[in-house]
């Protein structure tokens, strides 16, 4: 059983489109994250979401919005896609604060290509 | 200014040739330093967490150490299967509980 699964694995789309990436974790964790890994393999936090509290990295454009229907899911919606959005997006999860939150479990990534 | 700097960017070793990867950090109020391994096409996989200077952790051929300014990941007698990108990350007072990653060291071990 995959602990953190995200779909799709690959996403190719045109500039200006709106797309979503889904993420699900079966670890019972309380906190979920979205990270972006650019072409230089630099991994940067985009959002963290814990018990309905959303912490947003101030550098993330408001075209990106996380949506969490329940504790096990954190989807990423992207509006008006731009060329610069091309990257690999990773979902991750961890236990609640104070319970070893350091150990992040990552999904296998979604490679987004905007043409 | 980068808060977490890893060196070298890439390292090529022969099988059995021991070496070390470096992770230096400039943040204050460190709450933890973490090492992850990332294989091509996959998400990072947790290796170690270090909390205070002088702390050491070991796993198979890997040993992580921490000082007040940097961490080392020592690889003893590496094998080809140790080839991967090794990522260092920190959590500190100003990171809102999030991990801030370095750019990684790509390790290649040739048989």
In this prediction, residue A41 carries a pLDDT of 79
Q: How many CB pairs under 8 A join A and B?
A: 51
In this prediction, residue B20 carries a pLDDT of 98
Q: To the nearest whole percent, how much of chain B has pLDDT over 90?
A: 82
CA atoms lying within 13 Å on the CB side of residue A115: 4
In this prediction, residue B99 carries a pLDDT of 83
Sign of torsion over alpha carbons B98, B87, B9, B7: positive
Contacts of B104 in chain A (CB under 8 A): 41-43
Please tell me if residue B100 touches chain A, with a CB cutoff of 8 Å.
yes
Please tell me if residue A48 touches chain B, with a CB cutoff of 8 Å.
yes
In this prediction, residue B57 carries a pLDDT of 96
**Who among B43, B49, B85 is closest to A102 (CB)?**
B49
Residue, of B69 and B1, whose pLDDT is higher? B69
Which residue has tokens 């610069």?
A: A84
Pairwise CB contact (< 8 Å): B46 & A40: no
Please tell me if residue B40 touches chain A, with a CB cutoff of 8 Å.
no
Please tell me if residue A52 touches chain B, with a CB cutoff of 8 Å.
no
Please tell me if residue A4 touches chain B, with a CB cutoff of 8 Å.
yes
> For residue B46, with 0-12 CB atoms within 10 Å meaning exposed, 13-18 middle and 19 or more buried, which class applies?
middle
How far is CA B84 from its chain centroid?
11
- pLDDT tens-digit map of B42-88: 999 999 999 999 999 999 999 999 999 999 999 999 999 999 999 99
Contacts of A97 in chain B (CB under 8 A): 97
In this prediction, residue A1 carries a pLDDT of 65
Residue B93: pLDDT band by 50, 70, 90 thresholds?
Answer: confident
Residue B28: pLDDT band by 50, 70, 90 thresholds?
Answer: confident
Compute the mean pLDDT over every residue in chain B, rounded to the nearest whole number.
93
Q: Extract the residue ranges of chain A whose pLDDT is less than 70.
A: 1, 96-102
What CA dihedral angle connects B53, B59, B60 and B66, to 10 degrees?
-20
Q: What average pLDDT does the segment B34-43 reach?
A: 95
DSSP state of A58: T
């Amino acid at each position: 059983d995959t602990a953190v699964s995200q779909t799709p694995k690959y996403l190719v789309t045109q500039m200006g489109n709106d797309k979503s990436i889904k993420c699900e974790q079966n670890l019972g964790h309380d906190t979920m994250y979205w990270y972006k890994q650019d072409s230089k393999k630099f991994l940067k936090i985009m959002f963290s979401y814990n018990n309905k509290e959303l912490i947003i990295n101030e550098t993330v454009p408001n075209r990106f919005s996380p949506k969490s229907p329940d504790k096990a899911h954190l989807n990423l919606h992207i509006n008006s896609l731009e060329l610069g959005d091309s990257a690999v997006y990773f979902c991750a999860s961890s236990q609640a604060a104070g319970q070893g939150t350091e150990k992040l479990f990552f999904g296998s990534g979604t490679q987004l290509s905007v043409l | 200014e980068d808060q977490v700097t890893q060196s070298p960017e890439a390292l090529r070793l022969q099988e059995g040739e021991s070496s070390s990867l470096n992770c230096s950090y400039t943040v204050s109020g460190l709450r933890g330093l973490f090492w992850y391994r990332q294989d091509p096409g996959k998400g990072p996989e947790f290796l170690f967490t270090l909390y205070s200077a002088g702390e050491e952790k070991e796993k198979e051929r890997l040993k992580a150490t921490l000082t007040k300014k940097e961490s080392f990941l020592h690889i003893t007698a590496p094998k080809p299967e140790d080839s991967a990108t090794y990522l260092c990350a920190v959590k500190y007072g100003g990171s809102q509980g999030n991990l801030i990653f370095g750019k990684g060291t790509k390790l290649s071990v040739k048989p």
